[in-house]
Structure 1
C-alpha cells in the first residue's frame, strides 16, 4: 500500500514537471528574426568629400568582413567605389576606383587574400541619393562591400548592402 502511494505521488510529480513549460527567451544567435537591430549595419564605407582615405571609425566593419572572408576562403566580395556628382565624370570614376582600392587595401592589410576581392568604380553613375540634397549627398561618397559568393548569414543587398555583425563568425 505504501509502495502504491509513493508510485502515485511520483507519477503526479512527473506529470506536473513534464507538462511544465520552459519559457526561456530564444537566443538571437539561434533565431535570425530576433537579431539585435544594433548589430545590423550598412556594409559600406563612407568618405569625406574628395577623399579616398578610410576613416578609423570603419575599423570594426573592416575587421568583421576580414574575419568572415578569412574563415570562408571561397567567399568573394566586390568593392564598389562611388562618388557624388560634384566634378567631372572622369574625375569621379577615378575617385570611385581610389575609394574601392582603399577598402580593398584595408581588407588585405587585415589578412584577406587578394583573390577574394575585386574592385570596380561606378563613379557618379549609381547615385542613391539626390544630388540636390546637400545633407544626403555625402552618402553617395562611399565604397560598398558586396558579397558575390558565399555571403554571410543575414546579408542583404537592398539600397545598400547590410550585414548582421553578430552572425559573422
Structure 2
C-alpha cells in the first residue's frame, strides 16, 4: 500500500512537471512588445518632404530623423524601408533616380546618427504612388517625400 502511495505521488510530480513545461507561457517582456509597437508607429508617422528637384535633407526635418535614429538605436530589432517619392513632373527614369537619391539621403543621415545599416533598406517609387492627385504646387509638394515603413520588429 505504501508503494502505491509513493508511485501515485511520483506520478503526480512527473505529471505536474510535464504539464508546466508544455502549458502556454505568457511571453516575457509583454511591455517590451508594446514599447516596440509604439516605437514602430513613431517611425512610420514621421514623413520628410523635399523641394522640387532636390534630395538634400532640410533643416526642419533633421529632428524627425534624429528621433527615428534614437528609436532605432533603442530597438535594434526594428527594420525600416525608406521609400523615396517624387511629384508627377519628369520622366519615369528621372523620377525613379530622384526618389532613390531622396531615400539614400535619409538612409545616410540615419547611419551617421548611429543606426545600424542592416536595419535599413531603400526603395524608390518615383511618381508611381502619389498621396495627393493633382497638377498643382499643393499636390506636388505633398508627393515629394520619404515615407518610412517598418518591415520587421
Q: TM-score over 0.5 for the alignment?
A: yes
Question: Which runs of 4 or more aligned residues in structure 1 lie more than 3 Å from their structure 2 counterparts after TM superposition?
Answer: none
TM-score by length of 1: 0.63
RMSD over aligned CA atoms reads 1.8
CA apart distance, 1:131: 3.0
Which residue in the other structure is 1:160 paired with? none
Q: Distance in 2 between matches of 1:131 and 1:112?
A: 36
Partner of 1:44: 47
Aligned counterpart, 1:62: 65
Give TM-score, length-normalised by structure 2: 0.69
Tell me which protein shows more strand as a share of its residues: 1
Could you say which structure has the higher helix fraction? 2
- Cα offset for 1:137? 1.4
Q: Any stretches of 5+ residues in structure 1 without a counterpart?
A: 1-38, 151-169
**1:59 CA drift (Å):** 1.5
1:128 equivalenced with 2:92 (yes/no): no
Equivalent pairs counted in the alignment come to 112
Unpaired segments of 5 or more residues in structure 2? 1-41
C-alpha offsets along residues 5-60 of structure 1, whole Å, 9 cap, x if unaligned? xxxxxxxxxxxxxxxxxxxxxxxxxxxxxxxxxx9x94111000000000111121
Q: How far is the alpha carbon of 1:66 from its aligned partner? A: 0.4
